Amino acid sequence: MTRTIPIHPSQDPPNPAGLQADGMGCHAGTEAMVAAAKEAGKSEVLDQYARDYPRQPDAGPHDQPQSMCPAFGSLRVGLRMKRTATILSGSACCVYGLTFTSHFYGARRSVGYVPFNSESLVTGKLFEDIRETVHAEADPSKVDTVIIINLCVPTASGVPLQLLPKEINGVRIIGIDVPGFGVPTHAEAKDVLAGAMLKYAREEIMHGPVAAPRAGRGDKPTVALLGEMFPADPVIIGQMLAPMGLAAGPVVPTREWRELYAALDCSVAAAIHPFYTASVREFQAAGRPVVGSAPVGLEGTQDWLQNIGQAAGIAQAQIDLARNQALTQMRGLLMQKPISGRITLSGYEGSELLVGRLLIECGADVRYVGSACPATPWNAHDIEWLKAKGVQVQMRASLEQDLNAMYEYRPQLAIGTTPVVQIAKQNSVPSLYFTNLISARPLMGVAGAGSLVQVVQAAMGNQARFNAMKEFFGDVGAGHAAGVWESVPKDRPEFKAETRRQLDKLLKKRKAEEMGS
C-alpha cells in the first residue's frame, strides 16, 4: 500500500545557511556584488560599464531585463575567432550553463575553465592559477590570442586580470570582466570583447605595420559593419554601396584577428547594431565617423545611404545614384504591402527596431517594439521613426512589459523571446522566436524584405491550426496539472503561499542586515 508522507510547513527559512554561504553568487543581489567588486579594485571598469551599458537601477543579474547570462555574448565572440583560446573564470554552475549554451549554438571549440574554491579565491591563488593556465595555453603554434573572461564571482572578488602580461611568446593575452551585475545583456557583452580586441588591434597599428587582409587591401574605401548579421547581408550592403564607389568592409565582431585591422582601416563605421558602445569608441579614436541605423525598408535604406555617403565625403550625384538603384529594386515589393495584421515584437538581439521598421514598411500594423538593449545615439533615429508611426517603443524592456503589450494589443502575431512565445502559444496566438527565426535571416535590401515577408505570412497563417488544437485539447494538462500524471494532481496553493512567505521573510532579514551593516 502506498503511503503519503505529510508535509508540514517549516518555521525556518529554506536552507538559510546554504543561501548565505553563496552570498557572492547570483543570490547576493546586484548592489552587494557591485559594492564588493568596487571594494576589490574594479571601480574603474564598473564605472565604464555603467556609462557604456546603463542598466535599470533595481535589476539584478537575472532580471535586467531577463535574458541569458550576459557572459555568453563575450564567450560566443571569442569562440568564433580563428586561432583563439577562450577561457572562463567563474563558478562551476555558471561555466556549465555557458558551455552548454555555446555548444547548443554550434561552437566547434572547447571552452577553457580555471576552477576555484573559496580558499583559492580568498588567498589569491585563483589569479596564480589563471596566470599558469594562460602561459600553458599561449602556444604560438596553436593560437594567436588567449581570451580570459572573469564571470560574476571573480569580478566581485577583484581577480586582477589587468595584471596578466599583454603578450606571451607572441600570443596576445586579453582579460575582460563580464559580470552580470555590470553588463546587462549578452548583446552588450559581445561589445565588451569586440571593443577590447579593437583597442588592442588599434594599439598594434599605432606601433608599426600589421598584417594586411587575407585577400589584400581593396582599392575602394570601405564601410565597416558593426553587429553580427546574416552572411548575405554584407554582400547585399556591398551591392548598395557600389554606385558610390564604396565597398562593404569587415563585420565586427570579426572571425579573424587581421580583420580587426581592416575594420579600423575603413572610411566609415556603420553601427548596424546600436549597442556597440566600446567598439564605436575605438573607431572614433581611430578618426572614423560612425553612422547609425541600417539599410532596411525603403525609407531606412534611403536615409542610410545618404548618411553613409555624406560621412565618406561622396558627391551628392553619386549618393543619388546609389539611392535610386535601391529605390528601383525595393519599390515593387514594398508597394504591395504584403503583410497585413497586427504584430507585437520584442527581443534581446539589438536589431528589434530595424525589424519593426521593415515590418511597417511591408504593411504590418506594428503596435509594440521592445528591446532588452538600451537607447543609444545610434538607434535614436529608429526610435523616433517608430514613435512617429504610433508604435509603443520600450528600450530595456522586461518580460512583463513585453507580455503586457501582447495582452493589450492582442496581435495576430507575437514575435518575441522564448517565454513570450511560450505564453503566446498557450493563448493560441501565432508566434515566432526572434533570435532563431527573425534575426537569423537576411534583413537588408530587397532580399531582407522578401525573406521577412515569407516567414511572417507563414506564421500568421497558422491561426486556424492553433484554434483546432485548442478545441481538441481543451484545458487538459494546464496550470498546476501540466505534465503526464496517473491521476489529476491536486493543487496546493497553501504550500506555494508558505514558500513565498518564507522567502519574503528571508529577503526582509537580508535588507535589514544590509542597512545595519
Question: In the complex, which residues of this chain contact ligand SF4 (CB under 6 A)?
Answer: 25-26, 61, 69-71, 90-91, 94, 97, 151-152, 180
CB 84 within 8 A of CB 78: yes
Q: Is 15 exposed, middle or buried (0-12, 13-18, 19+ CB in 10 A)?
A: exposed
Cell 547548443 belongs to 104
- When the beta carbons of 70 and 250 are compared against ligand SF4, the nearer one is 70
Closest approach, Cβ 291 to ligand SF4, in A, equals: 33
Closer to ligand SF4 by Cβ: residue 152 or 247: 152
CB nearer to ligand SF4: pick between 22 and 256: 22
Report, in Å, the least distance between residue 26 CB and ligand SF4: 4
Torsion sign (Cα): 256, 261, 265, 271: positive
Cα–Cα distance, 479 to 271 (Å, whole number): 44
Q: Reduced to 3 states, what is the DSSP secondary structure of residue 119?
A: helix
Phi/psi of residue 338, nearest 5 degrees: -70, -10
Helix (H) or strand (E) holding 47: helix 43-52
Find all residues with CB under 8 Å of 307, minimum gap 6, and list them.
291, 292, 293
Nearer CB in complex with ligand SF4: 91/351: 91
Least Cβ distance, residue 228 to ligand SF4 (angstroms): 20
Taking the least distance from each CB to ligand SF4, the nearer of 89 and 254 is 89
CB of 183 to ligand SF4, least distance (A): 9
Distance in angstroms (rounded) separating the CA atoms of residues 305 and 248: 12
Residue among 21 and 512 whose Cβ is closer to ligand SF4: 21
DSSP 101: H
Q: Which is nearer to ligand SF4, 26 or 308 (CB)?
A: 26
Closest approach of ligand SF4 to the CB of residue 400, in Å: 20
CB of 71 to ligand SF4, least distance (A): 5
Distance of closest approach, residue 132 Cβ to ligand SF4, in angstroms:
22
Of the two residues 89 and 302, which places its CB atom closer to ligand SF4 in the complex? 89
Compute the least distance from the CB of residue 98 to ligand SF4, in Å: 7
Spatial CB neighbours of 7, under 8 Å, sequence gap ≥ 6:
495
Torsional sign, CA 154, 156, 160, 161:
positive
10 Å CB burial of residue 271 (0-12, 13-18, 19+) is buried
Q: What is the DSSP string of 140-192?
A: TTT-SEEEEEE-HHHHHTT--GGGS-SEETTEEEEEEE--TTT---HHHHHHH
Nearer to ligand SF4, 90 or 411 (CB): 90
Question: What minimum distance in Å lies between the beta carbon of 28 and ligand SF4?
Answer: 9
- For ligand SF4, the nearest residue by Cβ is 180
- Cα four-point dihedral sign 489, 493, 495, 500: positive
